Each structure stands twice: as C-alpha cells, then as structure tokens.
Amino acid sequence: MIVRPAVSDDAVQAAYIYNHYIATSHATFELDPIDGREMLRRMESGWDAGYPFLVCEEGSGVCGYAYASSHRGRPAYAHTVEVSVYVKPGNDGQGIGTKLYDSLLSELETDGFHTVIAGISLPNEDSVRLHEKFGFEKVAHFREVGRKFDRWIDVGYWQKILSI
C-alpha cells in the first residue's frame, strides 16, 4: 500500500469510490453520481489552487483518496483548508484512511497551512474516531442542516491547528 499524489488517470477510480458514498451514505450531501471527467475537473481545480489530492494505491488500483480544499473564498482564510477522505467499499478497517491522513496532514503543514477543518455528517463514529486520532477537536455542531434519504442530518465540525 502506497500513498502518492493523484494523477489524472486516477479520476475514474476516485469517482467510483465517491459514487458509492453518494448512493449509500450521508458522508457526502451530493445526490447524483459523478463521472471521471467531473472528478478530474475537481482534482484539477484543487491542484490549480495549490491543494494536495492524494491516493492510496494497492496492487493496480486506488483503494482510497484524501484531499484538501478551500475553506472559504476570502483571502484571510488562505491558510485554512477543509479535508476529506474516502475509502473504497470493502476496504474499511485496513488503515487506509490513517495512511492517507498521515501523508495529507504532513504535506499541508509543510505547505504552510495553519488550520484544518473537517465537516462530518452525523452520526459517523468511524470518521469521528479517525479525525480525533489525528488530534482534531470538535468545535461546532449544526442540527438538521442537510437532507438526504428523506431525513434531516446534523453536521459536526472538527478542527486541527497544524502550526502556531
């Protein structure tokens, strides 16, 4: 298992992983699947803005990915990022999310980012556990801000300061 920067050829596999979460969970509030072209557009948009997008590869395929994106568009937020991680269905509990976040957070700190924010739709004990393992602390909880699968969903926000 290796973690490496994503390349354009990873977009289709990343979209496959993401589409699983769109269809089966509230981990994302997207409702419609995306194709490889749309995933590549999103990846390129992040790369153009200077944000990392990493994949975990095992054998010949991508088994997970993690990336950072803009927290807000205003210039004063330039040192704050939001992060996300997704693991291929059937690969839970193998340490893939941990490997991805270990690399992503290290890269973000090296790149000079100060604050990392993760929004987690609740309940999601596995995601909470992963983020808290890396020192994220819960800083906010918004009730019933998303609606998916005919029910209201809360979102919590976890934050980690990378550098002082």
pLDDT value of position 43: 97
The domain limits of the chain are: 2-161
Mean pLDDT of the residues in the chain = 95
pTM for the complete prediction?
0.94
pLDDT at res. 101: 97
pLDDT of residue 51: 97
3-state secondary structure the chain: CEEEECCHHHHHHHHHHHHHHHHHCCCCCCCCCCCHHHHHHHHHHHHHHCCCEEEEEECCEEEEEEEEEECCCCHHHCCEEEEEEEECCCCCCCCHHHHHHHHHHHHHHHCCCCEEEEEEEECCHHHHHHHHHCCCEEEEEEEEEEEECCEEEEEEEEEEECCC
- pLDDT band at residue 107 using 50, 70 and 90 as cut-offs: very high
| Average pLDDT estimate for 50-65 | 94
**Superfamily for 2-161?**
Gcn5-related N-acetyltransferase (GNAT) (3.40.630.30)
